[in-house]
Structure 1
Amino acid sequence: MSTGQLRADWLLASPGQSPEQQGARLAWQDGRLVELAAAAPDGRGLIVLPGLCNAHDHARAVRASALGAFDRPLESWLMYLGVIPGVDAYLTAASSLARSALRGAGRVMVHYTRIQGLLPLVEEAGQVARAARDVGVQVGFAVAMRDRQNIAYADDAAVLASLPPGLRAQLEPRFAKAPASPAMQLALVDEIAAACHGPGFNVQYGPTGVQWCSDALLRAIARASADTGQQVHMHLLETRYQREWADREFPQGIVAYLRDIGLLSPRLTLAHCTWARPEELALIAESGARIAVNTGSNLGIRSGIAPVAQMLAAGCRVAMGLDGLALDEDDDALRELRLLHHLHKGWGYETAMSHAQAWRVASEQGRHAISGIETEATLAPGARADLLVLDGRALMDDRLFEDVPVLDFVLARATAGHIHQVAVEGRTLVHQGRVLGVDYPALMRELMSSLRAALPGDEVWRAAVRALNGELAKHHTHCC
């Protein structure tokens, strides 16, 4: 239901930027706010803020530590994603998106890199779209596109030739299939968009990363995006090994290369940029492209700490992603915001990221990356009714002084456990700890039952992945 009203004890219409209002009445109709009026607090202690976004994720079936991937670098970590079989696409997407909503994010970017494979991809994408509708989250859906370097940042044949014969024999069948041509990949995205694109489900081109995409594929995506206006979502410079590869392959600079082929534009969102340099950030800022930083993920898989303060100083449009790897693997958007703020706010008396900037990173910029929305994420008449409502009595149970800003409490200690309500364009997704559109606990039970039943009876592939971990370490550290 996209029409409703709410009384709040505190309204933070533009957190950190405009004054906090004690006592407010909000009303919305057809997904848009129509009234924000002063009103006496009703004593429930509710705090209303603009909704949060998760600007980079993958809607995976389970969390990484369950796969044995805890504390692995990305280059090894990726291989662990293949140790579980494909299962029902709707179950996977609905459980992941419901968890995102329950933990505070009403808009989620899904870079669909882990195909379940039980249906043709167009039909599978339709199941993800149905899951998004049922949960109520607004989704950006980037169709994964790649055509090279499946094992390491080198030709597959060369990497396979360097492996012990037994391990090589196990890996070769997995990577024997020739990739689809750029034209075929673009046609598939067009087919998915024709079937699924619409309000609440924004289909995008999803090149997985420069290291995984040929020049021909990237140029084709750049042309198609320019012709259609369709957005693009891509990883860039996530790890030090990607940085080293980029410096070898693109002496003129990898971001300059993206600019020269026409891919660097306001339609592009770049996930991570953990190892981006100042001159590259300047190019990104000038282009109007966005960066989705993933702080907890970068720490968890040993990728590094992104230069977020430098990004903001350069004028980059920065959004917050969770990447399915928030610090506690719990998809808690509020805790991720706190981690992001603490790491990048500055040291001592310097301020590199203000409270207002932190909230815009977590709320405003993600709206464009996910849904193509350019307007500010403030609560005002005419604005989208994207709301995060917190239980202020629980959050501020030790409040002593009325002049301490409510936002201080939110940034210092709020978690998903304090969420009273999440609404997107007026539709309530979460209320008092429960996802309204689906039965999240039942989904998780069914998903885990399906996964356990589908597990292979042998440990051959898991053993191969563990052995490959050591070989990849040698490859990337140039150690024999």
Structure 2
Amino acid sequence: MTQLTLMGPRALTEDGAGVLPDPVDIVIESGEIRAVRPAGSAPPVGEAIDARHTLAVPGFINGHHHSHENFHKGRYDRLPLELWMNYVRPAKPLPLTADDVYLRTLVGASQALLSGTTCIVDDFNASPVLDPEHVEAALAAYEDIGIRALLGPTLFDVPFHESVPFIREECCAETLAGLAPAHATPPDEYLRLVETLAATRHPRENRVGVLLAPSAPQRCSDGFLRRVRELADATELPVIIHVQETRLQAASAWHERGKTLFQHLDELGFLAPGTSLIHAVWLTPDDIARIAASGASVQHNPNSNLKLGSGLMPMRALLDAGVNVSLGTDGCGSLESTDMLRVVANTALLHKLRGDDYRRWIGAEEALEAATLGGARALGLEDRLGRIAPGQRADLVLYRLDAPAFTPLNDPLRQLVFGESGIGIDSVFVEGERVVADGQLTRLDQREIARRIEQAMERLRPAIGEAEQRTETLRPAYERIWTRCQALPLAPGTIAARFDAS
């Protein structure tokens, strides 16, 4: 039984809304917080770690990441989602080995830990041909580095290109045939894999677990979505699904269905607690009411939405309706980073652009809650993650209070949220294990990881370049589709998510 005591840090209050006025000792046994007591009030339990002059915060929960994009970091800018997506999901998959997948997964996981994230949700593209060894390689990477992770192989039964509006009008038959994969694993096999993994990789019992990740309503038939919902209910696995990330998606849904995708999911009975609606940028008041009534969460990725020009979701309206909001970075192909502190800061900054009543602006406390307890609620794990309290898993970050961002020390919570990236992390603990110490990973050598990744990239760069050249040939058709969809009307009452060009 591992026992240790963090001696003398300042710490967030149990509700996460502020900082306790006096230092505390945090007692940890078998990966769980057993006590939070006044500093020095009792002898330490187990190993004593001097945590004076630090601030203890629950580790960030990154509610959305795509590890399959990590080799594409830094390659794209000034592209909306619909033009960008074909570059990171090329029609001809890259020739990856299991070791490539292992290394690729470590790219995001290492940056996440080093910037204060203790849990990451990986929407893992394993198409068009499912290779269980690749899934196991990603799970092994998360096991080895020491982070908490939930991985979901992306689920869909409508090919990606067939879900694009006007695709048959804008692409010739030869192009469409080229977009269809020569070989594809039946969707049922993906469901069976997740169901099998749930027996040994359930996130309630395992640090590295699985969840269900249907891609989006437009990429899943109604029958397939119902089967995902049935499996989620039977296994009690969390669910993540992209919904109306962009204006194109919102307008084309209204054009093709006469309803929003949120209405559609609600009518299917898909919305439920433990289900995260990823992005949810373009919403109507009716959508918000349906989400609130269902108990589902909205998963907000402000930095990715900025990079891809997708828009700003109405966070205050969601919170006012009682909707839980979590935060994430999205994949490194769109944003280059799994640094959640940048996401938390931008959440507390960007939403001050919406509305003239400054008293209703999103504050530092709400942004931090969304990145911690909000993330735990979204996954149905709020009884285990997101707070510093007895009974919670010991997923904690210690920030040095002598770092420039905290000097002079006035309000530690606000200075954390609005301080610079790399704010001065002393230690990161996951289930009570110190996985980052003095700014370095404790389980793996970051420099060795970087060296091996560069070796892999020397072999893969030509294949990535070839795939990008092929995507360029599709660009004119997709630009025509994007332009056509900009002219389509949105559902009545849709809350504006972008500023006018003027």
TM-score (norm: length of structure 1): 0.88
Task: Say if 2:142 is the partner of 1:132.
Answer: yes
Residue 429 of structure 1, aligned match among 428, 431, 435: 435
Show the counterpart of 2:394: 385
Q: Give the equivalent residue in structure 2 for 1:52.
A: 60
2:363 and 2:295 mapped to 1: Cα distance?
21
* Residues 1:86 and 2:96 aligned together: yes
* CA–CA separation in structure 2 for the residues paired with 1:43 and 1:62: 34
Query: Secondary structure of the equivalent of 1:357?
Result: helix
CA-based RMSD: 3.0
1:2-57 deviations in whole A, cap 9, x for unaligned?
Answer: 532222442223476255333222221111222322237x7952111122110111
| Aligned with 2:224 (options 203, 210, 217) | 217
| Alpha-carbon contact 1:51-1:386 (below 8 Å) kept | yes
Read off the aligned partner of 1:322 and give its amino acid letter: T
SS in 2 for 1:372: coil
Runs of 4+ in 1 over 6 A off after TM superposition: none
Which one is further off, 308-317 or 453-462?
453-462
- Deviation, 1:101, is 1.0
In structure 2, which of residues 318, 340, 349 is the aligned counterpart of residue 333 of structure 1?
340
Residue 360 (str. 1) matches residue 369 (str. 2) = yes
- Greater shift, 309-318 or 469-478, is seen at 469-478
- Equivalent residue number for residue 282 of structure 1: 289
| Structure 1 equivalent of residue 170 of structure 2 | 162
Match of 1:476 among 482, 490, 496: 482
SS, match of residue 276 in structure 1: coil
Match of 1:6 in 2: 6
Q: Residue 170 of structure 2 contacts residue 480 of structure 2 at CA under 8 Å; is this kept in 1? A: no
Distance 1:310 1:461, change over 3 A: same
Cα separation, 2, equivalents of 1:316 and 1:478: 33
Query: Structure 2 counterpart of 1:259, which letter?
Result: D
Which consecutive residues of structure 2, in runs of 5 or more, have no partner in the other structure?
A: 41-49, 488-502
Matched, 1:29 2:29: yes
Q: Check whether the contact 1:112–1:141 (CA below 8 A) recurs between aligned residues.
A: yes
Q: Quick check: 1:95 aligned with 2:111?
A: no
The answer for the alignment partner of 2:324 in structure 1 is 317
Q: Displacement, 1:114? A: 5.2
Shift of the 191–377 alpha-carbon distance from structure 1 to 2, 3 Å rule, reads closer
Deviations 1:85-119 (A, max 9, x none): 434221111232122111211000011125596xx
Partners of 1:454 and 1:19 in 2: CA distance: 47
**Which residue type is aligned with residue 392 of structure 1?**
L
**CA–CA distance in structure 1, aligned partners of residues 15 and 333 of structure 2:** 23
Q: Which aligned pairs between 1:47-446 and structure 2 lie closer than 5 A?
A: 47-60=55-68, 62=70, 64=72, 66-67=74-75, 69-82=76-89, 85-87=95-97, 88-113=100-125, 121-151=131-161, 153-154=163-164, 159=167, 162-163=170-171, 168-169=174-175, 172-177=177-182, 181-194=186-199, 196-197=201-202, 199-325=206-332, 329-345=336-352, 349-370=358-379, 372-374=381-383, 377-396=386-405, 398-399=407-408, 404-446=410-452
Q: CA deviation at 1:459?
A: 5.1
**Structure 1 stretches lacking a partner, 5+ long:** none
Q: Which moved more, 1:362-371 or 1:343-352?
A: 343-352
Report deviation, 1:263. Answer: 1.0
Return the letter of the residue paired with 1:257: H
Amino acid at match of 1:445: R
8 Å Cα contact 2:281/2:310 also seen in 1 = yes
SS at 1:255's partner residue? helix
CA distance in 2, matches of 1:17, 1:456: 50
Name the CA distance, whole Å, in 1 between partners of 2:196 and 2:210: 10
Q: TM-score, normalising length from structure 2?
A: 0.85
Indicate how the Cα distance of structure 1 residues 318 and 99 shifts in structure 2: closer, same or farther if over 3 A, else same: same
Asked whether the 8 Å contact 1:15–1:407 carries over to 2, the reply is no
For 1:37 and 1:50, the matched residues in 2 are separated by 16
Residue 308 of structure 1, CA deviation:
1.1
> Residue 212 of structure 2: SS of its match in structure 1?
strand
Deviations 1:362-411 (A, max 9, x none): 10121244473445732123322221211110144641xx6x22212112
Instruction: State the number of aligned residues.
Output: 469
Separation (CA, whole Å) in 1 of partners of 2:424 and 2:128:
34
> 1:425: how far off?
2.1
Matches of 1:212 and 1:55 in 2, distance apart? 21
Q: Report the more deviating stretch, 221-230 or 97-106.
A: 221-230
Tell whether the 8 Å contact from 2:71 to 2:457 is kept in structure 1 after alignment: no
- Gap change, CA 1:304 and 1:114, over 3 Å in 2: farther
The match for 2:496 is none
Distance 1:199 1:43, change over 3 A: closer
Cα shift at 1:249: 3.0
Question: Cα distance 1:475–1:226, how it changes in 2: closer, same or farther (>3 A)?
Answer: same
Q: Contact 2:62 / 2:120 at 8 angstroms: preserved in 1?
A: yes
- Against the structure 1 CA distance between its residues 51 and 125, is the aligned structure 2 distance closer, same or farther, given a 3 Å change threshold? same
Give me the whole-angstrom Cα distance separating, in 1, the residues matched to 2:450 and 2:427.
Answer: 21
Post-superposition CA distance 1:196-223 (Å, at most 9, x none): 4451133222110011111221122122
Residues in 2 aligned to 1:414 and 1:389: alpha-carbon distance in whole angstroms: 16
